[in-house]
Amino acid sequence: MPAGGARSPQPRKRKLVAEEGKDDSTPKRRSPDRPEEPSKRRQPESSNSSTCAGSLTEDMANIGGPAMLKRTLGLQNDRYSQYIGPTTDFEPSLLDLSHFDPQDESLLSRGTLRKVSDVDTFLMLPDYNTPGYEHVIEDSDAIEAIVTPHGPALIDLYFHVIHPSFPIIQKTVFLEKYARSYQEFSPALLAAMYILAINWWDHSEQLAKSPRPNVRELERLVRTSLADAMYRPKLSTIQAGLLLSQRPEGDQWAPTAQLVAIGQELGLHLDCSTWKIPLWERGLRKRLAWALYMQDKWGSLIHGRPSHIFASNWAVRSLTWNDFPDDQSEDDNNEREDGEVLEHERGRLLFTEMVSLSQLLAEVLETFYTLAAMDNVTRAGTSGTHMVLSLAKPVQLKLKEWFAALPVCLKMENSHTNLASSPSPHSSGSQGSKLSSTGFLHLSYFATEITLHRRIVRSLTPAGPNLPPIDPYILHICRSAAKTRLISAMDFVNRLTPSHLRAFWYFSSKTNFALIGTFGSLLWATAPGKEEADFYRMRLKEYRWTLGVSARAGMGADGEGRGVKGLTEFALGMLDTSTGLLKALPEKPVLSRDNSEIGLGSSHSASLISLGGMMSSSARSGGAGGYGFGFGMSDGQAGSGDVDSGLASPSDSTSSVEVSQGFEAFMAAHPQGRDIGGR
């Protein structure tokens, strides 16, 4: 348990101090349903209110004993930290000349130096000098008034539905503080947790009987309080920003840039494994750092923007089992049953696997989608395709290994029960134990592969009018592999159950659903003949139907389900946009069977099978590997996509397994991309 976990609460004077501060010089608390004028939000503090605020924060900082928060770096109640970088006006060599006390602090005129390691030093500054500080308690009260009396039930819901697969809160510390007073938290963090949990309001028998709180007013308060918090950034600022970004409507790119900047201010990009801070804060910092990394990389993908985080300035070590809290509580019902892993263990696995996948996505983006990378392919001319394929090979192998190594408990067929939500006093019996967030991990995997294949498919189109066409055999191999990816991704969406759809979905999921349709539209637009174009047109029509069914399946008993609705509505809208643009596509020619890209001549077909080798028994039965990107099927999923879901093309002369094996063998036979350029 984190430091201070077993310590009894100290006597508090918060109420007395707050009452003493109620004079004419202290800003009046505004009504939750009446926004305050902006000019009043930025009034400077009077000396009286400053004194009152200083006393209040000093009292708050000592609650639970100084060991709980006082020795932390990023969670102190009265101070915030600024990382002193190597090129600032502070000379690192001179900092060692300062006298540090036993707490590794040294008082200067500009603030207090805090040395956390031999090479890393921070400047600690007081909160009370920052804009909006005098409104902290006021904002907390206004937020709590909106959700009263349902605050504890919402927090319980948050830790049962969201926290297991997105563990960016130190649960034990949070619950201990929350049991004392909601005023101990950053208003922005508290509001963000409430806002996110309200999406599962009908999942709780206790909450479903009551009207929902005013979410718009909560959102208004969180905007003002988060803006204020950025003047005194702490780990809670990052937590609030990340949680707000998980809403389907919250995935904006500019706030991500702000969060990355704040994270650098807090030193989240550094290796904190040996810092002189509490052990639980080290783990929390690493989890937050990787959550911020994922936010940046997936935001970069879905918004088509350059990433803000680079490997050359990222020293965070990989997550280990010790970086996660032992956050079991008495009512969590986490006992092992029939060899199943515990809920929190499964959540750790899901989070760490998502981090690993995000690193692979970062490699795809860096290798293929930077301005320099795209320019290199353009400059390569007729060799552009073989350049892309040679670069794709190592990434495809890493994706294959990642999927093959997924823990059994994270496989789709093993994730239908109690992954993200164990029964609790606040959850309904039928739904409370069957939410599974594994869906967003698998969807993210498909999005990563689709992103890789989009680049390959684009390279198959000659960059200029005078360039020769791509070798038909190469065209067939690459397009068939891309087609297998699309079929498998569509089949995955088709197999999602209400247990998946009603669970927590990572913020990029709504765009990842849309990327499947976008990829199908790309294959339709670049199809060489009418037969193949018609195939993709029908598949996209089926996918649209699947998205509509998924939206209804994800709704709760009361017809609510804004999160799921937002996920699928965006994908449906984007699919309609893409297919609308395709109406302007010229009619494709009808190709003969011998000249069709779908059905190659007998010599090419025989060459494909001989190149890929005959199907092994494991491939026929859905053996180990991935979903089918150049390396066989897994769990029968891609195979079922070709048969059970009716997504296979009736005109294919070879199975998707043969195509996948052929693509893998082809890549192995051309390690440097030789002899695969245009003729």
C-alpha 640: how far from its chain's center? 28
Q: What is the pLDDT of residues 35-52, one digit of tens each?
A: 444 334 434 343 343 333
Confidence of residue 555 (pLDDT cuts 50, 70, 90): low
Q: Does pLDDT of 428 surpass 50?
A: no
Average pLDDT for residues 357-377, to the nearest whole number?
A: 98
DSSP 436: -
pLDDT at 437 over 60: yes
The residues with which 122 forms a beta bridge, in sequence order, are 83, 114
Predicted local distance difference test score (pLDDT) of residue 269: 99
Q: Tens digit of pLDDT for each residue in 569-594?
A: 899 999 999 999 999 999 989 986 55
Cβ atoms of 274 and 224 closer than 8 Å: no
Lowest-confidence range among 148-157, 336-345, 649-658? Answer: 649-658
Q: What residues does 115 pair with on adjacent strands? A: 121
Q: Give 544-549 contacts, CB < 8 A, sequence gap 24+.
A: 544/517, 544/572, 544/575, 544/576, 546/490, 546/493, 546/494, 547/493, 547/513, 547/571, 547/572, 547/575, 548/572
pLDDT tens string 168-200: 999 999 999 999 999 999 999 999 999 999 999
Q: Which residues contact 252 (CB under 8 A, 6 or more apart)?
A: 245
Q: Which residue has the tokens 């992954």?
A: 419
Selected residue with higher pLDDT from 651 and 290: 290
In the sheet where 105-108 sits, what is the strand order?
A: 79-83, 121-126, 111-115, 105-108
Say which residue the tokens 């109420």 belong to. Answer: 15
Q: Taking each helix axis from N to C terminus, what angle separates 235-245 and 215-229, rounded to the nearest 10 degrees?
A: 140
H/E stretch holding 288:
helix 279-303
The pTM score is 0.80
- Residues 10-26 pLDDT 10s: 433 333 333 333 333 43
Q: Which of 45-59, 285-299, 609-623 has the lowest mean pLDDT?
A: 609-623
What is each CA distance from 498 to 206, 416, 506, in whole angstroms? Answer: 21, 9, 16
State residue 494's pLDDT score: 95
Tokens representing 284? 């929390």
In the DSSP assignment, the letter for residue 170 is: -
d(CA 616, CA 613): 8
Q: What is the mean pLDDT of residues 383-402?
A: 96
Query: Which residue, 249, 259, 192, 258, is CA-closest to 219?
Result: 192
The single-letter DSSP state of residue 119 is: S
Of 133-137, 436-440, 603-607, least confident by mean pLDDT is 603-607
Q: Which of 12-16, 481-485, 598-602 has the lowest mean pLDDT?
A: 12-16
Nearest to 638 by CA among 620, 612, 651, 613: 620
